[in-house]
Amino acid sequence: MARASTRPTSRDVAEAAGVSQAAVSLVLGEKWRGRVSAATAERVREAARTLGYRPNLAARNLRLGRTRTVLLVVPALTTEFFAGVYTGAARVAAAHGFGVVLYPSPEGIGPARDPFASAQAALDGVLASSMAADALTAIRGDQLPLVMLDSDPDGSLGAATVNLDITDGVRQVAEHLLGLGHRRFLHLAADVASWTFEIRARELAARVGAVPGTTVRTAPAPISIEGARAAAEAALSAPGPRPTAIVCDDDKLAAGAYKAARRLGLRIPDDISVTGLDDLALATAIDPELTTVRLDAELFGERGMQALLAVLEGRAPARGDIPVELVVRGSTAPPAVA
Amino acid sequence: MARASTRPTSRDVAEAAGVSQAAVSLVLGEKWRGRVSAATAERVREAARTLGYRPNLAARNLRLGRTRTVLLVVPALTTEFFAGVYTGAARVAAAHGFGVVLYPSPEGIGPARDPFASAQAALDGVLASSMAADALTAIRGDQLPLVMLDSDPDGSLGAATVNLDITDGVRQVAEHLLGLGHRRFLHLAADVASWTFEIRARELAARVGAVPGTTVRTAPAPISIEGARAAAEAALSAPGPRPTAIVCDDDKLAAGAYKAARRLGLRIPDDISVTGLDDLALATAIDPELTTVRLDAELFGERGMQALLAVLEGRAPARGDIPVELVVRGSTAPPAVA
DNA sequence: CCGCTGAAGTTTTACGTATAACGTCCTTCG
DNA sequence: CGAAGGACGTTATACGTAAAACTTCAGCGG
């Protein structure tokens, strides 16, 4: 008597097809050329189909010692950007027969502080954003192959890195604004300790500092519209000559800058220019539409996953930063003549 | 000689602690009361710690016949809303020792059309949004425990359902606008075939239709700012008396409506009122801030996961819709007197 | 006619874990 | 004082799969 409620196993298929379990494994694994006759192979496939057989992945993973599953570590995930990264990474992974499990690092997740306990799956490798700093120490503990996203290339983790060319993006923003004639800048900076934000500040200072007579004031702000609004409003109300352009570390901060400007009665771009970074949906929802740097989040995820798969196969991951593109919209214009 | 590069197993721990593998399993599984002395237990834990032992989950899953992993099926994931659903679901799952693997249903993912092949993990259950319609047939094929999110309670899948009280949200919107004096409505509707959108249209028609002298025109639009702008602009330019309020199926559509109004020289809320549904970050980024219905995406994910866990444990999932809340902001006002 | 090769399978084993079933002692009580 | 039971383990087994090692047999060249 066959077991009732249990899912069919390869042995059940074997019995139905009148062959051994090994033959089933060979046929379904496409390793049967010269080992099993075509007729028998078809019989096995037919039996598997009618029984609705699905291989038990836990057993397969145990046997093979690998899982074809990788972990993607991101901060929070509540952002459009990392949703895009996930989408790109998952697409590439799927094309190679890999699955992706997610670990959104901070408060979002429950008591299981350990990414590897939380992601119940057994893993082959890890793709991690540098912004998920709190999870990195735990990750370093394991010996799993690791590829970092947007991390210091000389980082202490000694892992391969895939980067967006943020430096170039900031350079494009700086030259765009300088070219329009701006000289007094406010840098609305994300108050997050992460390499990807540090280079924004560094490159902006370098580019703008190269032009005599320019000034850059920096206002740190939490990455939220309301927090950015408060920080920008305070900075714009400070004594001294008012900046003519606000360079924001990302689009959400720029949305906050819009609100600050509106409260202070400043019109964009007539009285003050604003730039963002990301090109989220938000950028075209606000009025005027935001001049910003487009980051291709999905491509970023794809490249990251390709690099990780390369590492898993023992190949060297491709080098080279991912290009970004300045998108000029209505939020920037020449400064009003004083 | 111990094997070199391989990860330590429970047998390695046993050897190091001078006990049997079974004892290690008992101690680490916290099943040792009255079976192993406290001193021995501590010795085992110490050995596990120094070796950096981590149980092989594939082996455990095979042995136990369950994986403590569930699949979350959502459309695309590129939205803030489903990112929130994931976050809430993952939090509850983690608190119960479960992992969550994601299947974003449509084009995003590679050639593996089959959610269960794509999600490499072996699964215990499925939590699925009704919007991921294309994956549902595949899901129905398997016998896995299933809980639906925002689906027709009388649906043909015969699965438990967890719903946001969208009907009540639409009712609140309708009464808010009717109370302000609006009588001519434009319904900017998502052109997605899904139960959750169908009930929006149905409830709006019911509430507004109950008041004599009201009219509702419907304009279907793709869920994107630009698509919504085009649809709204066309509808507002149509002959006949202009609507005084636009009711949008979600916030993104509302952002499109804003752009249409701006193009036509209509001021919000003076010339026309607009409402959304979701309360995304977008809602407070645009000017004026959007009157919308707040959906608690994380709570939705939490409740959904709680229901699925209940089903997995053989308990009956809790009944009752999740309350939603109208948030009145600056985009609605009484209609201008004709 | 013998031995060899290749086709077509089968038998067996290992992956690492959890737990049922089975041994020892040592204490304790009728 | 004998037996019963607890305390403290160990041995053995099964989960389902993949693949290495083995068997059987037909055909064929020398």
> What local confidence, expressed as pLDDT, does residue B3 receive?
40
Query: CA–C1' distance A29–D21 (Å)?
Result: 19
**Scanning every residue of chain A, which has its alpha carbon at the shortest distance from the alpha carbon of B104?**
A87
Domains B10-55 and B166-295 share a fold: no
Average pLDDT, chain A: 89
Confirm if A82 and A304 have CB atoms less than 8 A apart: no
| B127, two tokens | 């939590």
Produce one character per residue of B295-317: b if its CB has 16 or more CB atoms within 10 Å, e if not. Answer: bbbbebbbbbbbbbbbbbeeeeb
Give me the pLDDT at residue B303, please: 97
* A128-137, A146-155, B249-258: range with lowest mean pLDDT: A128-137
Q: What per-residue confidence (pLDDT) applies to B131?
A: 72
DSSP 3-state assignment of A71?
Answer: strand
Q: Quick one: CA dihedral B253, B259, B265, B271, positive or negative?
A: positive
Q: How many residues in chain B?
A: 338
User: How confident is the model at residue A115, as a pLDDT?
Assistant: 63
What pLDDT, in 10s, does the model give residues A159-185? 889 999 999 999 999 999 999 999 999
**R_g of chain B computed on alpha carbons:** 26
What CATH code would you report for B68-164+299-312?
Answer: 3.40.50.2300
Per-residue confidence (pLDDT) for residue B218, from 0 to 100: 97
A146 DSSP β-pair partners: A126
Mean pLDDT value across residues A227-248: 97
User: Which residues of chain B, if any, have pLDDT below 50?
Assistant: 1-4, 107-112
Could you confirm whether domain A67-163+299-312 is CATH 2.40.160.10?
A: no
Q: Which helix (H) or strand (E) holds B85?
A: helix B80-95
Q: What percentage of chain A reaches a pLDDT higher than 90?
A: 70
DSSP β-bridge partners for residue A325: A294
pLDDT digits (tens, 9 = 90+) for B68-121: 999 898 886 667 888 889 989 988 998 898 988 888 765 444 444 566 666 667
CB B332 within 8 A of CB B291: yes
pLDDT for B153 equals 73
The C-alpha atoms of residue A309 and residue A311 are separated, in whole angstroms, by 5
Helices of type H across A145-194 = 166-180
| Angstrom distance (rounded) from CA B169 to CA B73 | 24
Lowest-pLDDT choice from A59-63, A129-133, A224-228, B305-309: A129-133
- Quote the percentage of chain A above a pLDDT of 70: 88
Domain borders along chain B are: 10-55, 68-164+299-312, 166-295
Phi, psi of A294 (to 5 degrees): -80, 120
Residues of A in contact with B255 (CB under 8 A): 281, 285
Question: Least CB-CB distance to B225: which of A109, A110, A285?
Answer: A285
Which pLDDT belongs to residue A154?
67
**pLDDT of B111:** 47
Give the model's confidence band at A108: pLDDT under 50 very low, under 70 low, under 90 confident, else very high. very low
CA of A190 to C1' of C22 (A): 64
The predicted structure's pLDDT at residue B13: 97
How does DSSP assign A148-161, residue by residue? EES--TT-TT--EE
Partners of B142 on chain A (C-beta within 8 Å) are: 54
CATH architecture of A10-55: Orthogonal Bundle (1.10)
Q: Which nucleotides of C are covered by protein (CB under 7 A)?
A: 6-12, 14-21
Residues B321, B164: contact at Cβ < 8 Å? yes
Cis check for the bond before A288: say yes or no (omega within 30 of 0). Answer: yes
pLDDT at B4: 44
Q: Could you tell me the CA-to-CA distances from B312 to B61, B82, B127, B141, B144 in Å, in that order?
A: 16, 23, 12, 18, 10
C-beta atoms of A252 and B281 within 8 A: yes
pLDDT at A322 over 80: yes
pLDDT over 50 at A326, yes or no: yes
Looking at residues A53-80, what average pLDDT do you find? 87
**pLDDT number for residue B74:** 85
Q: Any atom of strand D under 7 A from CB of A63? A: yes
**pLDDT tens digits, A178-206:** 999 999 999 999 998 888 999 999 999 99
Please give the distance of CA B200 from its chain centroid, rounded to a whole number.
17
More confident residue, A154 or B280: B280
CATH number of the domain located at residue range(s) B166-295 in this protein = 3.40.50.2300
A110–B94 CB contact, under 8 Å:
yes
pLDDT band at A135 (very low <50, low <70, confident <90, very high): low
